Structure 1
């Protein structure tokens, strides 16, 4: 049985363009291809899209950028100070976790099944 199946599969692979129901729909494929070619031949399809290198201002014209708003509240020294404090806190947190032997990962929470079984 297996040998006959392989023979028929091989025969179908050798001739995929027949009239069987499982053959390739060449007529429909040719229609789609011709339609695509006609679409590409249309004058609007041959027109190159325009390109503008000017940046788009997508914001509201009354409002400036975020840095303009924050410029009133934070000056450059404050920003640098906040950044260095964040780095120091991160470094001290890593050192304390290394000394206590804990890892950066959180302990696994019990699954729903484990919670209901207890």
Structure 2
């Protein structure tokens, strides 16, 4: 029985493709726990939708429960306030200064606080 030569090329290509798929799908070993670099994200408190009074209470409780950590507090930019102001943001900053905590802006509506 005669087999055309190009069938061998096709069979070789299929075998090469299978080898590639097997290598790519093989489960990769992870390094031991002490060698892994773990990306830790700060705990986050989102104050959208709260009143200023409720936001103050939530912030105080959140900071109390996250001592000696960096936390993220999302205050919002005040974009939906009819006066164009951000009352929760201003009240939160005032409280952080009163508590003597350091913070920096992650963006216009988000603070990173060293609790």
Which of the five TM-score ranges fits, normalised by the shorter chain? under 0.3
Q: Which has the higher contact order (CA 8 A, sep 6+)?
A: 2
Question: In terms of Rg, which structure is larger?
Answer: 1
Structure number having the greater strand percentage: 2
Structure number having the greater helix percentage: 1
TM-score by length of 2: 0.22
TM-score by length of 1: 0.22
